[in-house]
Structure 1
Amino acid sequence: MSNSDRVVLVLGGAGTVGSGVVKALLDKGFKVAVISRDDSRLERLRSFVSPNTKSSLTTVVGNVGSEDGAEQVKQALLKEVGKVTDIVSSLGFSWWQGGPPHTQSLKDLHWVMETLLYSTFVSWKAFFPLVRDSSDCTYTFITGGAGEKLLMPGTGFLTVGAASSLAFCQVLREEYPELPCKLNQVKINAGVGTPERMAPGYLNHLDLGEAVAALVERRKASHTVFTINCPADLKTALLEGSL
């Protein structure tokens, strides 16, 4: 399949990381679909992408955080685009610093887990069947490194939620060892920002988007974790095509 024949569903595509991925995929000639509960975020995304690619972007308002909601939005999406050939999952949030565990409630923990793990699981369950049986298809998770250590005091629940996401990706790699679909994970151990909101050591979301788009385009690797620790790693990935 040529890029123009492929339809990439970017879960979390209206966020900082996801928007960079969406723009890069569109610039490479892919058709792209994005789901969000917030139409205003979808409108900002439509304004952000290259003007000449807007016709290749499909946006759908829906909720992938519940099983019923994910199934409903899946049917609505398929009516719009007909098929999905690739999925990039960039769900959740990049930061949480609500305080030490003894100051939090069970409701707080449930919200973190729902955002970082449950939505990832529910969307996987809904959309995985669309791509699982074809070697021409891909499913790429974008995760963070916060699950491997406490980033700073007060971020404990972020560590718990991020660790759950990392564990879920590991489970999928090992539960589906012979999967025809190319299943990969991009683990980012650094902050990600837009060009106007960069900080030392941060990755530019546009550069990260280019790297992820290249991984989706090539369809060579599978059951692989690609780790990016710093801007130098990302530059190497872009120059050498190591993703």
Structure 2
Amino acid sequence: MSGILNPEVLVLGAAGTVGSGVVGALLEAGSPVLAVGRDGPRMQSLAAHFADEPALEIMTPGCISNDEDAAKLVAILRQRQRPLRAVFASLATPLESGRLLDKPTDFLRNKLEYDLLPHLAAARHLIPLLGEQEGMSHYVLIGGPHAECGWAGYGHASITAAALRMLTNVLHEEAQALGVRVQMLAVDKPLTTPDNARNACAEWPSAMAVGRHAVSLLTRTERTRAVVPFDAGRALTPPRALFSEFSFPLATRETNS
């Protein structure tokens, strides 16, 4: 087939609460979305929720844990021969409470292995791919509410979140030479979800609000800092279709559909 295609956006951790909000905000903004997440009920629920959205594609492999996983994903993306304009990364394991002093050192080691190193593996392979595109590309991480000060009872998560924020600052500097803007949207409050809605505070944002602010980073050229605090005023429906300024020809090729 032939025609015009808008650039795609990749969402890592799409099956999570924040990831699903980013997926929804991107689809709302008119962007084709490639969703990557751990295969299971949550990814199936995401696919079912957006079953009527032809712009959403669920991708395999389903998650990134190391360099090998990231390299496989990039190989698949190259085979698509379609421009990739942005990557959103929301990779984290469920929170587990406990005092830092009460847990063995391996607990922190595992937390870093599962919540920090996958981000580095993904960035090492995807940022160079984004750098091959014409114009500015974006790599956006989503940070949680416990990076600047210790979160009582969740010290391991606070340490990992602080390390992720520093990783963002380093990648922000290193990726500039490649034409890729790396940023983190730092969400300083828990999210309101259907499970906690009864007890949630009024100022807690929804996943969709976080997604909308994250998507707005793709269009706001003045926000050049590495870490951007969440702002409910930026969590608005986009005024126009995302990437409407781009016009990429779609080469004729065979498809399996």
TM tier, smaller: 0.7 to 0.9
How far off is 1:177 after superposition?
Answer: 4.4
Deviations 1:94-144 (A, max 9, x none): 6331x2223212331122101221011011012111112543321111112
- Percentage identity across aligned positions? 24
How far off is 1:36 after superposition?
Answer: 2.0
Deviations 1:26-56 (A, max 9, x none): 122111112223243321111123x432443
Q: Which moved more, 1:204-213 or 1:115-124?
A: 204-213
Partner of 1:24: 25
How far off is 1:16 after superposition?
Answer: 0.4
> Matched residues in 1 for 2:96 and 2:131: separation?
33
Matched, 1:237 2:234: yes
Instruction: Return the TM-score normalized by structure 1.
Output: 0.83
How far off is 1:147 after superposition?
Answer: 1.8
Three-state SS of the structure 2 residue aligned to 1:52 is coil
Three-state SS of the structure 1 residue aligned to 2:150 is coil
Three-state SS of the structure 2 residue aligned to 1:216 is coil
Partner of 2:84: 84
Q: Specify the code of the residue in structure 2 equivalent to 1:125.
A: R
Partner of 1:214: 216
> Matched residues in 1 for 2:177 and 2:70: separation?
26
Kindly indicate whether the alpha-carbon contact (under 8 Å) linking 2:47 and 2:58 is maintained by their aligned counterparts in 1.
Answer: no
Q: 1:4 to 1:22 in 2, by over 3 A?
A: farther
Instruction: Return the TM-score normalized by structure 2.
Output: 0.79
Q: Where in structure 2 are there 5+ consecutive unaligned residues?
A: 239-257
Deviations 1:60-81 (A, max 9, x none): 2333111112212332344357
Q: Where in structure 1 are there 5+ consecutive unaligned residues?
A: none
Kindly indicate whether the alpha-carbon contact (under 8 Å) linking 2:186 and 2:229 is maintained by their aligned counterparts in 1.
Answer: yes
Question: How many corresponding residue pairs?
Answer: 231
Three-state SS of the structure 1 residue aligned to 2:52 is helix
Q: Specify the code of the residue in structure 2 equivalent to 1:131.
A: L
Kindly indicate whether the alpha-carbon contact (under 8 Å) linking 1:5 and 1:30 is maintained by their aligned counterparts in 2.
Answer: yes
> Matched residues in 1 for 2:139 and 2:221: separation?
10
Bigger RCO (CA 8 Å, 6+ sep): 2
Kindly indicate whether the alpha-carbon contact (under 8 Å) linking 2:61 and 2:69 is maintained by their aligned counterparts in 1.
Answer: no
Partner of 2:174: 175
Counterparts of 1:72-151 in structure 2 under 5 Å?
72-79=72-79, 82-93=82-93, 95-97=95-97, 99-133=98-132, 134-151=134-151
Kindly indicate whether the alpha-carbon contact (under 8 Å) linking 2:116 and 2:164 is maintained by their aligned counterparts in 1.
Answer: yes
Partner of 1:48: 49
Partner of 1:194: 193
Q: 1:7 to 1:108 in 2, by over 3 A?
A: same
Partner of 2:249: none
Kindly indicate whether the alpha-carbon contact (under 8 Å) linking 2:22 and 2:215 is maintained by their aligned counterparts in 1.
Answer: yes
Kindly indicate whether the alpha-carbon contact (under 8 Å) linking 2:29 and 2:237 is maintained by their aligned counterparts in 1.
Answer: no
Q: 1:42 to 1:119 in 2, by over 3 A?
A: same
> Matched residues in 2 for 1:72 and 1:239: separation?
35
Partner of 1:13: 14
Partner of 2:245: none
Which of structures 1 and 2 has the bigger CA Rg? 2
Q: Which has the higher helix share?
A: 1
Partner of 2:184: 185
Q: Which moved more, 1:82-91 or 1:115-124?
A: 82-91
Q: Specify the code of the residue in structure 2 equivalent to 1:155.
A: Y
Q: 1:195 to 1:208 in 2, by over 3 A?
A: farther
